[in-house]
Amino acid sequence: ARITLRQLLDHAAENGYGVPAFNINNMEQGIAIMEAAQAVDAPVIMQASRGARSYAGDIMLSRMIDALVEMYPSIPICMHQDHGNNEATCLSAIQHGFTSVMMDGSLKEDAKTPADYDYNVAITRRVVDAAHWVGASVEGELGVLGSLEHGAGEQEDGHGAEGALSHDQLLTDPDQAVDFVARTKVDALAIAMGTSHGAYKFSRKPDGDILAMNVIEEIHRRLPSVHLVMHGSSSVPQALQDLFNASGGEMPQTWGVPVEEIVRGIRHGVRKVNIDTDCRLAMTAQFRKVAQASKSEFDPRKFLKPAMDAMRDLCRERFEQFGTAGNA
């Protein structure tokens, strides 16, 4: 059945677990997530970016969610808009059956330029009012995502904000978080604590200097009932990098967010954990493996099935690590 983000994260908070939010663009990713959830009895957050919506099309995406809800009747599913850039994106998602939206007012509508605080408060509050009228939940974001190592704007995947930002701008200010939640009434708050989107987060295993876990702990201390969201939470597992590169790939060595750091966040109020890169890598490493091992293969299912299975195994592992398993 469909569930809102608020319903799901309230249950997660009461029971002390976190929920991975996996990005989807197609049927294979949707089935991979649901097979994993079914296997371990976990509730699901699936999220679509603006790019996913234009790739699959809103009608295809919304009918796919209908199908997954019908195919897995015992699993609660929250369908969430990832990084909504304005009111139109968020409200049209709700029209297409999404039960939750992220209004990312930390950036301007171009999704590149850092926005000022008053802009963020005003646009987020407008989306919260409209979404709550029709029973949908809203995630807001305070602070600009980007690793403390590279700074925003230097991400190799082009997701970073433009221009060099200071250390302070890259971390959410706890005082501002208290004010932001009171003024916007968001259901969940994404915070910046040193992670960035994509595969190239860190050039060494991150420690306390480049991952500001103390920011999470302080915000949770000040706002104990607010559900926190960690973006850029792929771990970029070494085994997946190795398989990718052993199969003809050329991916420079990189480090993601260690799972044990995410688990520490979950002990301090993190309830939604965004993961896209790990799923992409799990799938495309299999594409490469099949392409290299079977050079005459041209049935797409021979590529897609192992890719789907690899993503399913990754999702299942995260459900187990975050304590989501057993909570459907």
| Catalytic annotation, residues | 82
- At its nearest, how many Å lie between Na ion and the CB of residue 294? 37
Q: Encode 260-271 in three state secondary structure.
A: HHHHHHHCCCEE
Q: How many residues bind ligand 13P (CB under 6 A)?
A: 14
Nearer to ligand G3H, 109 or 218 (CB): 109
Q: Which of 37, 5, 3, 2 is nearest to 190 (CA)?
A: 5
Q: What dihedral do alpha carbons 295, 298, 299, 301 form, nearest 10°?
A: 60
Q: Does 318 bind ligand 13P (CB under 6 A)?
A: no
Kindly identify the residues of this chain, within the stretch 156-175, that bind ligand G3H according to CB under 6 A.
159
- At its nearest, how many Å lie between ligand 13P and the CB of residue 23? 6
Q: Does 102 bind Na ion (CB under 5 A)?
A: yes
Residue 198 and residue 159 in contact, taking contact as beta carbons nearer than 8 Å: yes
Q: Does 278 bind Na ion (CB under 5 A)?
A: no
Helix residue ranges, H only, the chain: 5-15, 27-40, 50-56, 58-71, 87-95, 117-133, 174-184, 213-222, 238-246, 259-266, 277-293, 300-321
Q: Does 52 bind Na ion (CB under 5 A)?
A: no
Residue 157, class by beta-carbon neighbours within 10 Å (0-12 exposed, 13-18 middle, 19+ buried)?
Answer: exposed
CA 60 to chain CA centroid, Å, is 21
Select from 4, 120, 234, 324 the one that contacts ligand 13P (CB under 6 A): 234
Q: Which two tokens stand for residue 229?
A: 């969201």
Nearer to Na ion, 82 or 278 (CB): 82
Cα 118 to Cα 108: distance, rounded to the nearest angstrom: 12
Cα 4 to Cα 101: distance, rounded to the nearest angstrom: 10
- Contact partner at residue 147 from Zn ion, Na ion, ligand 13P, none, CB < 5 to 8 Å by partner kind: none
Neighbours of 137 (CB within 10 A): 26
Q: Does 220 bind Zn ion (CB under 5 A)?
A: no
Q: Does 231 bind Zn ion (CB under 5 A)?
A: yes
Q: Does 271 bind Zn ion (CB under 5 A)?
A: no
- At its nearest, how many Å lie between ligand 13P and the CB of residue 214? 21
- Contact partner at residue 99 from Na ion, ligand G3H, ligand 13P, none, CB < 5 to 8 Å by partner kind: none
- Give the pairing of strands 44-48 and 19-23: parallel
- At its nearest, how many Å lie between ligand G3H and the CB of residue 201? 12
Kindly identify the residues of this chain, within the stretch 123-152, that bind Zn ion according to CB under 5 A.
none
241: left (phi over 0), alpha (psi -120 to 50) or beta: alpha
| Degrees, nearest 5: CA angle 75-269-158 | 80
Give the sign of the dihedral formed by CA 21, CA 22, CA 26, CA 31: negative
Binding mask 235-274 for ligand 13P (x = CB under 6 A): ---------------------------------------x
Q: Does 106 bind ligand G3H (CB under 6 A)?
A: no
Q: Does 194 bind ligand 13P (CB under 6 A)?
A: no
- At its nearest, how many Å lie between ligand 13P and the CB of residue 232? 4
- At its nearest, how many Å lie between ligand G3H and the CB of residue 48? 8
Q: Which of 226, 221, 219 is nearest to 184 (CA)?
A: 226
Angle between helices 300-321 and 27-40 (to 10 degrees): 40
Q: Does 232 bind ligand 13P (CB under 6 A)?
A: yes
Cα separations (Å) of 104 from 112, 138, 218, 241, 326?
A: 11, 10, 22, 30, 31
Kindly identify the residues of this chain, within the stretch 60-119, that bind ligand 13P according to CB under 6 A.
82-83
Kindly identify the residues of this chain, within the stretch 37-56, that bind ligand G3H according to CB under 6 A.
49, 51-52
- At its nearest, how many Å lie between ligand 13P and the CB of residue 131? 18
Question: Which residues here bind ligand 13P, judged by CB under 6 A?
Answer: 23, 82-83, 197-198, 231-234, 274-278
Question: Which residues here bind ligand G3H, judged by CB under 6 A?
Answer: 23, 49, 51-52, 82-83, 159, 197, 276
